Amino acid sequence: MNNLKSNILLIFRLTKTLLKVYKYKIRHFFVTIQFSLDDDPAVSEGIKLIPLLNQSVKDAYELRIKANKRKKDSVFLNTFPGEHYRLLGGLVKNIDAKTIIDIGTFTGMSSKVFLENTPQDAIVHTFDVIEWQKFDSHLKKINFNNGRIKQYISDLSQKEEFKKYLELISTSDLIFLDAPKDGRFEYRFLNLLSGVKLKQKNRLLIIDDIKFLNMLSLWRSINSPKIDATSFGHWSGTGIVDISNGLKLNKKYFHN
């Protein structure tokens, strides 16, 4: 089949599928591209994350997150599978995380899960460009007053800001990246992260929405051990990366 014919066929199939999506009233969808995994060495190395993922999924299955029903988005906290909150809870329970970086505070659902599933001496450091009080937040003043959570109004994709918080980033056990997904922030942040030598320690990077079209190159470019945990996390893509030895990037796929 020549190229023109196969492209016409592809457009036809895509249109047919999209029509079905509307017919079946699917709540939310987007178009993505599925990549092969066997030719991505970081995926092969990611096999070592399977025992942790296995236990975390088991814990997520049993976990129930206390939700304030008056908050509109609280329905997502216990949506499992489909949303990532219970998996996040399962993961932090299993990694003895004391220093957690949560990038993208929003209404504080991820921060709440981290707070509720870690010991009292664990601290959540959450970053946003908007103060947490501006949202109908799941977080409470007491969480800030007792020092368990700190918010920084800062854009970590900016070199100066990144440098300001490098020591914190280097001592972290977990970085959860759930910011704008605008095709710029995440690329800039990972570029900066890959350019520094981090303290060697067990450390995870969790990335939300790795199936978005503008996140596909980002995920593919990661050359540190990684696993796609989408079936147990957020339906739009949940990626887990072992960055204990820092973050390695394959610039071939990296477009920013």
Ligand X SMILES: C[S@@+](CC[C@H](N)C(=O)[O-])C[C@H]1O[C@@H](n2cnc3c(N)ncnc32)[C@H](O)[C@@H]1O
| Interacting residues with ligand X (CB under 6 A) | 103-110, 127-130, 155, 157, 178-180, 185
Among 130, 103, 127, 102, smallest CA distance to 115 is for 102
Looking at the Cβ atoms of 85 and 198, the one nearer to ligand X is 85
Looking at the Cβ atoms of 55 and 154, the one nearer to ligand X is 154
Nearest approach, Cβ of residue 172 and ligand X (Å): 15
How far is it, in rounded angstroms, from Cα 171 to Cα 37? 31
Largest CA distance in the chain: 66
> DSSP string spanning 51-115?
HHHHHHHHHHHH------TTSGGGGGTT-TTBSSHHHHHHHHHHTT-SEEEEE--TTSHHHHHHH
Looking at the Cβ atoms of 46 and 233, the one nearer to ligand X is 233
Phi-psi map region of 147: left, alpha, beta (phi>0 left; psi -120 to 50 alpha) = left
Nearest approach, Cβ of residue 59 and ligand X (Å): 19
Structure tokens at 25: 């009233």
Looking at the Cβ atoms of 158 and 244, the one nearer to ligand X is 158
Name 22's Cβ contacts closer than 8 Å, sequence gap at least 6: none
Nearest approach, Cβ of residue 114 and ligand X (Å): 10
* Burial zone of 113 (CB within 10 Å; 0-12 exposed, 13-18 middle, 19+ buried): buried
Nearest approach, Cβ of residue 152 and ligand X (Å): 9
Nearest approach, Cβ of residue 65 and ligand X (Å): 11
Looking at the Cβ atoms of 198 and 206, the one nearer to ligand X is 206
Looking at the Cβ atoms of 43 and 241, the one nearer to ligand X is 241
Three-class DSSP category at 2: coil
Nearest approach, Cβ of residue 236 and ligand X (Å): 10
Q: Do 148 and 178 meet the contact criterion of CB atoms below 8 Å apart?
A: no
Nearest approach, Cβ of residue 131 and ligand X (Å): 10
How far is it, in rounded angstroms, from Cα 33 to Cα 166? 34
Looking at the Cβ atoms of 105 and 238, the one nearer to ligand X is 105
